[in-house]
Structure 1
Amino acid sequence: MKEFCDSLLFYTDSVMSLDKGKEIIAYKEKYDHQKLITDQQRLKLEKAETQRILIVVTLCLVMLIAITIYLYQKRLVRKETTIRRQSEQLQAYMLQLHDNESRLMQNRQYMEELKTQLAAHEDDADGHREEQEQMERLEAENSRLQTTIQSLQQRIGEYSSRLSNTRKDMEQLRNLSEEALKLKERERRLTDRLVDSHPLVAELQKKCRTLSEAEWQELVQLCNDTWDGFTTRLQARYPQLTEQDLRLCLLIRLRFSNVQLATIFAVSPASISQKKFRLKKHLSESGESSFPEEMTLDRWLTEF
């Protein structure tokens, strides 16, 4: 019995040891499996975290590049705007310079004509005084224009130094402006020569006399053909002008002096001066297109 009991205990212990070994192996396998799952999840989390960090860094880089591009484009646009504004201002100065130079040239030409008239009509006191006043006004205006031209040239030089890439364009524009002045001067000379060569005008320049109705119509046609509908434009802008006013304007545009006008209209030179004064006042008060007080009627009609 004792031996049997010892054997039973021995085998019982052996069976229990075997069962515990199986449990340990099962727990170990379960632990290894769970550890594998945990490691996989940890790797997934680390991978997701790495991707998130990579995405954040990429977004930051993209935003930084976008901001850099935006600032660069904004600076570039601002620079282009400044250059365009300076270029427009430079072109405006060039146009003003061209206008002032053209005005100065016209004044000098008109002064030459006035000098010729002064030399030819020294016996006419009223006409001589009026022409002398016109000379003084033209000289004052020429002095002012010369000062303005110098100021514009200085500004153009400053802008050209800032815009080095536009110097070539400005030089071309300057050349075109000078060419336009030459063409304008050539056109004026040809026009004056054409008008002076007309038989009736040439006859009147040599010896003035009263004109017939047909001769008046001939002069009107000559002026309209030469100066783009001179009397038509004048009458359209100032419909209140009488036929006598239009004829006076016509002869002034043909560059007849006060003495010659007096002979054609069969009145005294003083009457012609009064007619001019009243006509200028009438045109100035019409409100249509008044001219400066210092400008004479002869010059205004020449530039009309």
Structure 2
Amino acid sequence: MACVPAPGYQSAYNPPIPYTTIIAGGLRQAMAVFIQATLPSDHKRFTVNFSTAEGEDSDIALHMNARYDNRDRVVFNSRQSGQWKEEEMKKDMPFKAGKVFSMLFEITRNNYLVAANGNRFFEFAHRFPLDQVRWVSVSGDIIVQHLAILGCGPGVKGGLVLSALQTELIPVMGPPAVLPTVPFRANINGGMVPHRSVIVKGIPNGKSFVVNLKSGMTNDIAFHFNPRLNKGTLVRNSFVNGSWGQEETKVAKNPIKEGDYFELSIRAGQKAFKIFLNGSHQFDFEYRMFNLAQVDTLEAEGNVQLFYALI
């Protein structure tokens, strides 16, 4: 069963290239776009565009073009009325063949903050009003494993078009936490009531890490998620009234490996938390705490690098 993304979060796994998608509600400050990808063996260049329309002749607010030749470099530019503007260049190439890499575009008031593999890489000042930017596309010599648009929530100009399944879900309301430090802690406004989701994207970089959904008032843990990479297990548990419960470890396949990207999505159902990894349902964890409104805190700690968290 594939995960239906909550309103405010757009996610595509293994899309065909070239790939173009609308940014629901248009681009706005505090949003972000994340791309996880690899390169084909015969790569020469690839492009990421933020544009005002879908067509090839549309205005481009941000054009990022990675070029592989004897002068490997990443070029940034914009295009208006068919004319390219002043080119900016980074003489560095963090997107290497043979490795999975990531690009993260954080939208600030003044610019696009571009990160490569979790490290700040480039700043490109806005040349177009943000409300004119409505599409993102990826083309060229690249294999996209995951593309996510973060923070495209409801109540925006133009509204959102939702599927029937999405209308039942609570939107992710807050701006994404981008490249947060670990240990990480965030408030879940209103608690983990049914139909609410939290999403975490990261890479394990050691033996073990933990993601908790807990009560900030009592410190009880409604859901404790603990991948133990040195043992190849996914441990789930709860900590209620001062005691740990019965561990659960059974899983059909463990997709979390050291050095591999993962996306963890936890959704509150009627009787259990539904756990999705990399867009696919993995297991349920039946509730052991039943006042879900008190489950108001997300924590992450241990051997993990985080790219974003969305609540």
TM-score (norm 1): 0.22
Largest Rg, 1 or 2: 1
TM-score (norm 2): 0.21
Higher relative contact order (CA 8 A, sep 6+): 2
Higher strand share: 2
